[in-house]
Structure 1
Amino acid sequence: MSIPEEVYLPTEEELTVTEVNLTGNLLKAAAFHYGKACLSENNEFMLCRNELDDPRACINEGKAVTSCALNFFRQVKKSCAGEFMQYANCIDKSSSTSAYGPCRKTQAAFDKCMKDNLNMERAPFDYFARVHVHKTDRPRPLPEPIPHFPDPPVALPEDAPKPPAKYGSRYLFIW
């Protein structure tokens, strides 16, 4: 597929950021706290992606999400590394589905550490299903203009001959 010259493609320097190199069980262990800590950045990024429908326009918002995640995990590593790793290992090794259920004791220890050291409470289970109003400074995108066609086709007259339906009446099965 070819791309015309008018299309702006970001350079590699614009796209290069430090990645969050964590496995799924580590992300799952921190999901409730991370989701609450970086809620504003995540919502801003998703709002940009849904409104503009162009990932190139949301590069800075994506960088803000990555930066927030890196800062969050650095704080967790500095303050609660032991409890966090015990909880993540329990999630990883206690069940084949990485369930939270068997790890409630290590979860409680991690939650207590997060509350004591970082003053972050675990979000309730329905927290992310609730309605949250997101305030943004980005301007609202312009509505898509209604297309104007200079030479619209002329409508068929009412008395134009209509050929019979190719496969019979469409109202055959209505009684």
Structure 2
Amino acid sequence: MVVTYKVPLPTYEELDVEEVNLGGATLMAGSFHLGKYCEEQNDEFMLCRREEGRMKCFNEGKEVTACTLDFFRKVKKSCAAELQNFAYCIDQSSMMYDIYPCRKTQAVFDKCMLENMGIERPIYWYYSRPRVFDSKIRPKPEPEKPIEFPNPPVAPIPEEGLPDPIPGKMNSRYWWFG
């Protein structure tokens, strides 16, 4: 991507945040519970990105990262062995990080998360169903006004002597039926 001098770029201080130093298998293993734990921060970040663009949402992104770090620190205190076993199974079972070979270790991890942190694994399609997010930071957008046309089209007046077209005979979609 080419950037000119007119494009405002963030400073290093704005971008400086503690990183989540975990592998893909560990993130995959905790993803459902992480999504439920940090749902509000993530929804706020995605709403900001949608409404204002990527360059103005650094603070919301930092909140998502801080929530993720907080989540994995709490998991480390309460369910570290279960998460590690589940992540190891995901990592070793397939190259595509498939979860279906690891349902037994997943059940153990889910049980530990429910007992120790009170987070139940959401149903599989929970994150893809439509939801309404009520933001506490951003005001609701104003409803779109209907488009007003200055001069609406006028219906054509049929000329005298010409019959009105019959849809079945003259404009048939299935012309090969005759």
With normalisation by structure 2, the TM-score equals: 0.74
CA contact (8 A) 1:52 1:141 kept: no
Q: RMSD of the alignment, in Å?
A: 1.9
Q: 1:61-91 CA distances to partner (integer Å, 9 max, x unpaired)?
A: 0000000100001011111000000000000
Aligned to 2:5: 3
Q: 1:71-122 CA distances to partner (integer Å, 9 max, x unpaired)?
A: 0010111110000000000001012322111111110110010001000000
Aligned to 2:119: 120
Structure 1 position 133, deviation (Å): 1.3
Q: Structure 2: give runs of 5+ residues left out of the alignment.
A: 144-174
Structure 1 position 8, deviation (Å): 4.1
Structure 1 position 17, deviation (Å): 0.2
Question: Within 5 Å, which residues of 2 pair with 1:4-19?
Answer: 4=6, 8-19=8-19
Aligned to 2:57: 58
Structure 1 position 52, deviation (Å): 1.0
Rounded Cα–Cα distance in structure 1 between residues aligned with 2:142 and 2:133: 19
Structure 1 position 32, deviation (Å): 0.6
Rounded Cα–Cα distance in structure 1 between residues aligned with 2:94 and 2:14: 41
Query: Identity, % of aligned pairs?
Result: 54
Q: 1:44-69 CA distances to partner (integer Å, 9 max, x unpaired)?
A: 1111111112x221011000000010
Amino acid at match of 2:92: K
Aligned to 2:97: 98
Question: Within 5 Å, which residues of 2 pair with 1:1-175?
Answer: 1-4=3-6, 8-53=8-53, 55-136=54-135, 137-140=137-140
Structure 1 position 9, deviation (Å): 3.2
Distance change (3 Å), C-alpha of 1:11 and 1:3: same
Deviates more, 1:37-46 or 1:93-102: 93-102
Q: How many residues align?
A: 141
Q: 1:127-173 CA distances to partner (integer Å, 9 max, x unpaired)?
A: 11112211112135799xxxxxxxxxxxxxxxxxxxxxxxxxxxxxx
CA contact (8 A) 1:51 1:141 kept: no
Structure 1 position 13, deviation (Å): 1.1
Rounded Cα–Cα distance in structure 1 between residues aligned with 2:61 and 2:142: 22
Rounded Cα–Cα distance in structure 2 between residues aligned with 1:72 and 1:21: 13
- Secondary structure of residue in 1 paired with 2:30: helix
Q: Structure 1: give runs of 5+ residues left out of the alignment.
A: 144-174
Amino acid at match of 1:46: M
